[in-house]
Amino acid sequence: MHHFLKETDFSLEQAQEVFTLAKELKANRLNGPRALNQQSWGLLFYKSSTRTRISFEVGVNELGGYPVVLNSQTTQIGRGETIEDTARVMSRYLHGLVIRTYGHEIVEAFAEHASMPIVNGLTDFNHPCQLYADIFTLLERYSPEAMDIASLRGKKVAFLGDTACNMANSWIHTAAMFGMDITLAGPDGFAPSATIDAALKADGLPKNYRITQDAEEACQGADVLYTDVWVSMGNEAEAEERKRRMAPYQITTELLALANPNAYFMHCLPAHAGEEVSQAVLDSPQSIIFDEAENRLHAQKAILAKLVELNR
């Protein structure tokens, strides 16, 4: 069974096909291929969501499938039914399952015991669907006709703020996969963990990301400035300390001015204006945050269609 738990679960060639298909699906949103033809897909949430929930629910519907939205607390998972049994039972009803949860081992356990494709809709470790939408959004600008992933090579990404979070890990993995250059800037004590280094090694990818505590150094000459919330879901108890320690890494117009003149500001959203990014940057012409959000729909439809094709 082919799952999508991390960015590299598609080869470069398959990823290229996903982006090409996403472009077609975007251009022809309601009359595209009905790749899920009467399949029922579960969308299981252990955490809050706006974009992931809506884009998958709408996307499954537009592909001719039926979305079943589930919450861990209101299923028997919340009362202790094992993942092993849950995955087996759900596989008897559903044709695929998108999961947003805490520990990455939860999606891995579902993938081990399910007999349907599992899609990672965010874990504490990574957020690969977001990254495919982000890369698609950049390809619309760097290579609008061919959507050629080669156009990403050498592009400089600066990731500021919580450099140990799921989005930072996903950007490290994605940059290595597509040959992008990435520098992360955040406070001491928030360096990426050994888990992401092990994930790169397992994929035979180079560990060539840079980490600094100097926000200006990271932004100098960057093509993409990226940030994420300072308090991810599950980190609420550390909120005040995180906000204090990460304050020097707010993306401001001054930092944006250090980047390439045609650099883009990106954020997976939700954003907290005045924390990780200023309102002026969110509103600037260089900000492409709402295209990113929209592209969750098109990129994820292409991911689902690709999984159906690969698992045929």
User: Is residue 60 within 8 Å of 41, Cβ to Cβ?
Assistant: yes
Query: Taking CB under 6 A as the criterion, which residues in 252-311 touch ligand CP?
Result: 268-269
Q: Please state, in angstroms and as integers, the Cα–Cα distance from residue 257 to each residue in 226, 233, 290, following that order.
A: 14, 31, 21
Give the separation between CA 10 and CA 3, rounded to whole angstroms: 9
The residue (of 102 and 212) whose beta carbon lies closer to ligand CP is: 102
Query: Taking CB under 6 A as the criterion, which residues in 121-140 touch ligand NVA?
Result: 122
Asked, as a colleague might, if the bond just before 192 is cis with ω within 30 of 0, I would say no
Tell me which residue has its CB nearest to ligand NVA: 232
Is residue 244 among the annotated active site residues? Answer: no
Binding ligand CP (rule: CB under 6 A), the pick from 11, 50, 71, 195 is 50
167 contributes a contact to ligand NVA by CB under 6 A: yes
Could you say which of ligand CP, ligand NVA, none residue 44 binds, taking C-beta under 5 to 8 angstroms by partner kind?
none
Is residue 228 among the annotated active site residues? Answer: yes
* Min CB(123)–ligand NVA separation in Å: 9
Stretch that binds ligand NVA, among 18-26, 96-104, 140-148, 164-172 (CB under 6 A): 164-172
Provide the H-helix boundaries in 164-312.
166-178, 194-202, 215-219, 239-246, 253-258, 279-283, 289-310
Token reading at 40: 């029922």
Contacts of 286 (CB under 8 A, 6+ apart): 256, 262, 263, 264, 265
Give the separation between CA 138 and CA 171, rounded to whole angstroms: 13
The residue (of 91 and 119) whose beta carbon lies closer to ligand CP is: 119
Q: What's the residue count for the chain? A: 312
The residue (of 41 and 230) whose beta carbon lies closer to ligand NVA is: 230
Binding ligand CP (rule: CB under 6 A), the pick from 3, 51, 173, 306 is 51
211 contributes a contact to ligand CP by CB under 6 A: no
Is residue 165 among the annotated active site residues? Answer: no
The residue (of 50 and 311) whose beta carbon lies closer to ligand CP is: 50
Give the separation between CA 107 and CA 118, rounded to whole angstroms: 7
Query: Catalytic residues, which ones?
Result: 100, 127, 130, 228, 268, 296
What is the contact surface with ligand CP in residues (CB under 6 A)? Answer: 49-52, 122, 130, 268-269
